[in-house]
A and B are shown apart, each in its own frame.
Chain A
């Protein structure tokens, strides 16, 4: 079973990389960019075929390694 995991910075956590991208977009002439936040995207291929079990395994993976829940949120999407 394939899963997509999206990890984003929590609101209020400073994102200097997003700020730099925002600035560069401005330099390229894209006006009206209010803000850019950078995140991470993971594709995980699992042996598990049961959706609920896969969800639970992925949640543990996110909590233990893929995301740092002090500063990041995560979203799991199963194919």
Chain B
């Protein structure tokens, strides 16, 4: 399983993601700078978390229009797996790879804590090692993770099983519609989520709940 991690100015979760990927896939991911126009030959591209361009204009808006994203978009449409975490989720929604938008947390506070996530679809490249409906602990750290979409989009996401992760009732940290924490595209090769599974895979993280998510990458 060959992977690449995209790097934009202001991204700060790339190292954590590189460690999690190397630990689970046994291969060092390539790091791809945003000004590159072509992705290397990989099976998975990760758009990591952070604060690309200091969240200027809208979170992820500028990064979504950077040179490398044109190739990410083109290859994603052909089936390349894309995993977008936190600011990465904001970037891919801004790019139009996933529907909806992530707006200011309903309570206006930056949230940095552990939440409980329920796996709502275990038929994806990032959840196939999890039981349907199983619950994992996972940290969140964001100020704009409030997922919104129009009613029609929400209905489609729910009806087509494209809600991949949902905050367990009572742990929704940002007011996201339908407690949505992560979704996928129609072809299920693009997954975006606000929580940081890469920060729950080491003994030092306190828990390793999210290891099976990364192990799913090997089976996919």
Interface residues of chain A, those whose CB is within 8 Å of chain B, are 13-17, 19-20, 64-66, 68, 70-71
Contact = CB atoms under 8 A, between A and B. Distances in A.
A16 B105 contact: yes
Secondary structure dominating the interface of B: loop
Interface string B82-121: 0000000000011000011101111110000000000000
Given A13-B148, A14-B146, A70 B101 contact: yes
Interface in B101-153: 101, 103-108, 146, 148-150
B57 interface: yes
Contact of A17 (B61, B93, B108): B108
Nearest to A10: B150
Given A14-B146, A68-B101, A70-B100, 18 more contacts: A13-B148, A14-B175, A15-B104, A16-B104, A16-B105, A17-B104, A19-B108, A20-B108, A64-B65, A65-B57, A65-B61, A65-B65, A68-B58, A70-B101, A70-B150, A71-B101, A71-B103, A71-B148
A6 to B, nearest CB: 15
Nearest to A18: B104
Chain B contact-residue range equals 20 to 34
A68 B104 contact: no
Contacts, number: 36
Given A68-B94, A68-B101, A70-B101, A16 B61 contact: no
9 tightest A-B CB contacts, nearest first: A16-B108, A70-B101, A71-B101, A16-B104, A68-B58, A68-B101, A20-B108, A65-B65, A16-B106
B130 to A, nearest CB: 29
With most chain A CB atoms within 10 A of its CB, the pick from B94, B103, B107, B146 is B103
A14 B65 contact: no
With most chain A CB atoms within 10 A of its CB, the pick from B104, B105, B150 is B104
A56 B148 CA distance: 29
